[in-house]
Structure 1
Amino acid sequence: MTSLAEIWPPFGLTLTTPRLTIRPVLDEDIPSAVAAARSGVHEPGKSPFSMPWTELPDDELAPNMAQWYWRCRANFTKDSWTLLLGVWHDDELLGVQDVGAKSFKTLKTVSTGSWLKQSAQGQGFGKEMRAAVVSFAFDHLGAEVAESEAAVWNQQSLGVSTSLGYELNGTFRDGWGEKVEEVQRVRLTPTTFTRPHWTLKVQGHEELKTYLKL
């Protein structure tokens, strides 16, 4: 029987760290992702996201999340792609780490974003999952730059970035929902990357590289 990974190679990617298994969110994982988001991701009224999706009513949150996962798959091309990777610890889905790029073959630049349910925050999981996707991008895809951003008040996210060696890369004003936020860009290269003490295990990357024509 043909596997999902044979039909769509990104599904075959798995990143393994000492505590986490990181792999694409499948349809059967969506209910767990919705439950994790509903359990709480941030303090009420303090959304760290440019699109405040976590503040949607429960009856809108679930279809919004499902549509986002499906949209990212449907729009996945070698010139513009986003991998939405579920993050598991002891078979519990803690959140989602994304990594994406536009014109990657030319620019060799990826961007990342993530969320963790509140009960999993403050335990180093955010740093571990970011280190995993950045290591994967640099060492297995040949990326030369990794970029991210966060509201200037979001010291939790910016702390993860600086601990991994990201350098500040300018600020800009942006509309986040109905609010205007000052946003801090950060930038990382293989040279500035503060690598973790552990070795990332990667499966399915060769098939993904072939699919992306890298």
Structure 2
Amino acid sequence: MPTTATPLSAYPPLNVQVHTPRLSLLGATDELLERLVPTVRKGVATEPPWPFDDPISLYEDSPEREWRWLRGVWSGRGRVSASSWRLYFVVVIDGEPVGMQDLIGVDFATFGTVTSFSWLSPDVRGSGFGKEMRQAVLHLAFEGLRAREAGSDAFVDNRASNRVSEALGYVPNGVSWDTRRGEPAQVKCWRLTREQWAEQRRDDIELAAVADCLPVLGIDPSPR
């Protein structure tokens, strides 16, 4: 199982790590973000399925693309409260950053629900890493943060993301709408309960530094 030694930050969310046999999710420090810049620089979306309209969507030419992406992560890291938080992780494979996996909670202390967001370098797509990333972040959500439910949304033509959700036991949860390139498009919604996750729970995923992060997110650290 991979292990990655990184200097401890004074800010607990940056110290959280998730390790699987194939990859690691590491708190998105500035050092790791800088190492991801070349991937963002070459990763502009040029064909369907188009990504969500989001500060990190890869549409604009360089350097505006990198600037928007960095500003989006920095802004999100700075807006953390018990009512709304987003944990940013850099996906590391064989020591190299190749993408990001985020975990988002809104009124988590009340509802216990999370959603996830991710992107992966085209160079490593098609090898099962998208599924592995999702399994890693779900382990953090359910085992580390004691979530009750996880949701995932993907445009209806994003077959890869929708296949991952289906393979991991999510069930369809209706449809909604969002924009991409400024145009409306239909989104397929998925839902995974704690009980459904437990049916496929893995015993080879390790968490690090989660306990210190709980108070930052407004989560009661006492056992349930």
Structure 1 length-normalised TM: 0.92
TM superposition shift of 1:178:
2.0
Q: 1:213 to 1:162 in 2, by over 3 A?
A: same
Residue in structure 1 matched with residue 20 of structure 2 by the alignment:
17
Where do 5+ consecutive residues of structure 1 fail to align? none
Report the aligned-residue RMSD: 1.9
TM superposition shift of 1:30:
1.9
2:195 pairs with 1:207 = no
Letter in 1 for 2:14: F
Question: Which of 75, 78, 91 is matched with 1:74 structurally?
Answer: 78
TM superposition shift of 1:59:
1.5
**Superposition pairs of residues 62-211 of structure 1, within 5 angstroms:** 62-193=66-197, 195=200, 197-211=202-216
Q: What do the CA deviations read for 1:144-196 (whole angstroms, capped 9, x no partner)? A: 00011000011100001000001110012332232221110101012222525
Letter in 2 for 1:212: L
Which deviates more from structure 2 when the two are superposed, residues 136-145 or residues 193-202?
193-202
TM superposition shift of 1:4:
6.9
Matched residues in 1 for 2:23 and 2:99: separation? 11
Q: 1:18 to 1:4 in 2, by over 3 A?
A: closer
**Superposition pairs of residues 20-59 of structure 1, within 5 angstroms:** 20-40=23-43, 42-44=45-47, 46-51=49-54, 53-59=57-63
Q: What do the CA deviations read for 1:81-132 (whole angstroms, capped 9, x no partner)? A: 0011000001111100000101100010001010001011001111001011
TM superposition shift of 1:209:
1.3
Matched residues in 2 for 1:30 and 1:203: separation? 20
Where do 5+ consecutive residues of structure 2 fail to align? 1-5, 220-224
**Alpha-carbon contact 2:52-2:179 (below 8 Å) kept:** no
Q: What do the CA deviations read for 1:9-66 (whole angstroms, capped 9, x no partner)? A: 1111010000111111111122222211233365435422233720111120111111
Which deviates more from structure 2 when the two are superposed, residues 34-43 or residues 65-74?
34-43
Which deviates more from structure 2 when the two are superposed, residues 193-202 or residues 108-117?
193-202
Matched residues in 1 for 2:175 and 2:193: separation? 19
TM superposition shift of 1:76:
1.3
**Alpha-carbon contact 2:114-2:149 (below 8 Å) kept:** yes
**Alpha-carbon contact 1:19-1:89 (below 8 Å) kept:** yes
Query: How many pairs does the alignment contain?
Result: 212
Matched residues in 2 for 1:6 and 1:180: separation? 40
Deviating runs (4+, > 4 A) in structure 1?
3-6
Q: 1:71 to 1:90 in 2, by over 3 A?
A: same
Matched residues in 2 for 1:22 and 1:41: separation? 23
Structure 2 length-normalised TM: 0.88
**Alpha-carbon contact 1:34-1:65 (below 8 Å) kept:** no
